[in-house]
Amino acid sequence: MTLDAAAPRLSTADLRARLAAASGSIGVRRSGPGAAPGLRGDHESDPALQPAGPLVKAAVLVPLVERGVDTTILLTRRTAHLTAHAGQISFPGGRIEPEDPSPAHGALREAEEEIGLPPAQVELIGQLDTYITRTGFEVTPVIGLVSGPLSLKPDPFEVAEVFEVPLAFAIDPRNRERRSREFKGGMREFWAIPFGEYVIWGATAGMLVNLSEVLLRR
């Protein structure tokens, strides 16, 4: 696989075409180093980060918003008081509940609950590799095109802020870096994508790297 040197501006037609070329249908699947087919995760850089025990199934929406000639990715910053992932940059999403018939349904439901994004404004166009987090979640990232004017109502308990990053910036390999920090007595490496005052890192950055590989392969 070869990646383009720089990320181009991709129209919605380009996005549909590249996802269709990669998967043939909703659901992009590939193999990564140290991972089973269709699985990505924190354990790719260090097998010791593979969580023990049963995984909690979750889903996130990767919302792509048309902004004239540009497309942006909508992200949230979690509130500081949460017990899990406080203050981190995330896609809207969460646990898949028993009443959710599919990961896509769970992602859309969570996006509506977290930021007030109506499912009717989202066209699902793809699904990235499942991502395993070191905290024990099996996350399905669902890609959706968001249409129409946005009138979001973030849940103040969970979401401190909603912001957008240009898609071309987020998937450009030149804008990502490898960082490390101590975790359980060892140094853990992870992807980070600095953007102004924000640093997108961990699982969210890992999923963006996967998205980049899918959209920029040729």
What domains sit in the chain, N to C, each tagged with a CATH number?
A: 12-216 (3.90.79.10)
Please give the model's pTM, rounded to 2 decimal places: 0.84
- Backbone phi, psi, residue 144, to 5°: -140, 140
Asked if 70 and 164 touch (Cβ cutoff 8 Å), the reply is no
**Average pLDDT rounded to a whole number, residues 78-89:** 66
Q: How many residues does the chain have?
A: 218
Instruction: For strands 56-67 and 177-183, give the pairing.
Output: unpaired
- In whole angstroms, give the CA distance from residue 173 to residue 161: 26
Nearest to 126 by CA among 109, 147, 111, 144: 144
List pLDDT tens digits, range 133-164.
878 889 999 999 998 889 999 999 989 999 99
